[in-house]
């Protein structure tokens, strides 16, 4: 079966195709058209880790294409709590459902699961590994925002900041960006949470200009995109948890940073969730209401992109176009 486990499996043409299909899914995502193409199909949504956006938007995307969803969350829903292996769980599930979205705390676990199944598997996040559907919706967001602003990805300047070590969304995103024409990518992270060097090497080898900075206290007046991420404390070792006292204001994306260092068309993205607890300052709420804050346009874009992923993996792109009907509610 075709799977979506890593951005590594996608060519530039395939990514461009997914962007085009997502665009064609917009009337369904915006509730202007309906289709029942996936009537009778069942999605297994297996989330062994917490999720709001990925779990619910994959669920909604499958339902809006006419399918049904078995939605599960936590370890206790499955007999893995009784010691059943990923292999056995995978063999069993592929007899019950037609596609699977899986999130799991261990890197590589979704690929291990997919190797034993007969149905398409989508990686909804494997520990600090990858989150390919998030990166695809992020790229789709950048594409839409740039079209609105009359900008192009060629030569664009993007800042990736926050937890670049454990943030799986940035691991997938930087690989995806590397497929495109040369751009400038600046990386800023608290000490110890830097982007893995093999990913920097990959992007550099493809002709992109990558710079690592120690804080946000720099001139970013030519910046097109800020992509900030939450500190993934749940992935810290005990030693790191003890030594980490929260990130300093040097890494906070807020109104003061945007007003003093960026420009009127710099868009602000975040895969979310942002941490709203005291001491967390990955993305300040003082930017709520600023039109440059694209985070909720970004979450909305999850639906058409995830529909596009189902449409291509299940090979129903053309059928959807023919089946589109007016909304009756």
With CA atoms as reference, report the closest residue to 134 among 246, 196, 52, 238: 52
- Looking at the Cβ atoms of 90 and 141, the one nearer to ligand CP is 141
Instruction: Find the part of the chain contacting ligand CP (CB under 6 A) among 20-28, 150-158, 232-240, 270-278.
Output: 270-278
With CA atoms as reference, report the closest residue to 194 among 167, 173, 219: 167
- The number of helix segments (H) and strand segments (E) in the chain equals 12, 11
Q: Is 172 in the site for ligand CP (CB under 6 A)?
A: no
Euclidean distance between the first and the last CA atom of the chain, given in angstroms as a whole number? 36
- Looking at the Cβ atoms of 37 and 303, the one nearer to ligand CP is 303
Say if residues 28 and 34 touch (Cβ distance below 8 Å). Answer: yes
Instruction: Find the part of the chain contacting ligand CP (CB under 6 A) among 23-31, 48-56, 80-88, 196-204.
Output: 48-56
Angstrom distance (rounded) from CA 42 to CA 21: 21
- Looking at the Cβ atoms of 210 and 295, the one nearer to ligand CP is 295
The interface with ligand CP within residues 110-149 (CB under 6 A) comprises: 125, 131, 134
Give DSSP secondary structure letters for 263-290: -TT-EEE--SPPP-STT--SB-GGGTT-
Which residue do the tokens 């695809």 mark? 136
Q: Least Å distance between CB 108 and ligand CP?
A: 18
Residue selected from 101, 187, 272, 293 as contacting ligand CP according to rule CB under 6 A:
272
Residue selected from 53, 213, 255, 297 as contacting ligand CP according to rule CB under 6 A:
53
Say if residues 72 and 101 touch (Cβ distance below 8 Å). Answer: no
Q: Least Å distance between CB 271 and ligand CP?
A: 4
- Looking at the Cβ atoms of 68 and 73, the one nearer to ligand CP is 73
Say if residues 265 and 149 touch (Cβ distance below 8 Å). Answer: yes
Residue selected from 54, 94, 178, 266 as contacting ligand CP according to rule CB under 6 A:
54
The interface with ligand CP within residues 9-38 (CB under 6 A) comprises: none
Instruction: Find the part of the chain contacting ligand CP (CB under 6 A) among 35-43, 46-54, 81-89, 172-180.
Output: 46-54
Angstrom distance (rounded) from CA 185 to CA 204: 10
Residue selected from 132, 167, 190, 271 as contacting ligand CP according to rule CB under 6 A:
271
Interface characters, 55-94, with ligand CP (x: CB under 6 A) = x---------------------------------------
Q: Least Å distance between CB 9 and ligand CP?
A: 19
Give long-range contacts, CB 8 A cutoff, 24+ apart: 202-209. 202/174, 202/175, 202/178, 203/174, 203/175, 203/177, 203/178, 206/178, 206/179, 206/182, 207/182, 208/177, 208/178, 208/182, 208/183, 208/184, 209/182, 209/183, 209/184, 209/185
- Looking at the Cβ atoms of 185 and 272, the one nearer to ligand CP is 272
- Looking at the Cβ atoms of 192 and 273, the one nearer to ligand CP is 273
Residues that bind ligand CP (CB under 6 A): 51-55, 125, 131, 134, 271-273
């Amino acid at each position: 079966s075709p799977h979506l486990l890593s951005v590594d499996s996608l060519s530039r043409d395939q990514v461009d195709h997914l962007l085009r299909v997502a665009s064609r899914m917009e009337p369904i995502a915006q509730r202007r058209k309906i289709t029942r193409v996936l009537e009778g199909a069942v999605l297994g949504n297996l989330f062994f880790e917490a999720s709001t956006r990925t779990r619910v938007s994959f669920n909604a995307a499958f339902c809006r294409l006419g399918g049904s969803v078995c939605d599960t969350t936590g370890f206790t829903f499955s007999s893995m709590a009784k010691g059943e292996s990923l292999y056995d769980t995978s063999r069993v599930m592929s007899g019950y459902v037609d596609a699977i979205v899986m999130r799991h705390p261990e890197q590589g676990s979704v690929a291990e699961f997919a190797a034993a199944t007969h149905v398409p598997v989508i990686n909804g996040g494997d520990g600090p590994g990858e989150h390919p559907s998030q990166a695809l919706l992020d790229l789709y967001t950048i594409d839409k925002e740039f079209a609105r602003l009359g900008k192009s990805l060629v030569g664009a300047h993007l800042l990736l900041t926050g937890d670049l070590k454990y943030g799986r969304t940035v691991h997938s995103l930087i690989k995806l960006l590397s497929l495109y024409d040369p751009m400038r990518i600046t990386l800023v992270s608290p000490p110890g949470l830097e982007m893995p060097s093999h990913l920097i090497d990959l992007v550099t080898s493809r002709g992109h200009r990558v710079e690592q900075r120690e804080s946000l206290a720099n001139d970013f007046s030519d910046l097109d995109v800020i992509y900030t991420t939450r500190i993934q404390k749940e992935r810290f070792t005990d030693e790191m948890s003890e030594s980490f006292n929260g990130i300093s204001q040097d890494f906070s994306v807020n109104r003061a940073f945007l007003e003093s260092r960026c420009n009127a068309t710099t868009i602000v993205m975040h895969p979310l969730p942002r941490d709203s607890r005291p001491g967390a300052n990955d993305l300040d709420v003082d930017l709520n209401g600023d039109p440059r804050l694209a985070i909720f346009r970004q979450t909305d874009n999850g639906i058409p992109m995830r529909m596009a992923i189902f449409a291509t993996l299940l090979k129903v792109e053309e059928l959807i176009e023919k089946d589109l009907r007016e909304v009756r509610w």
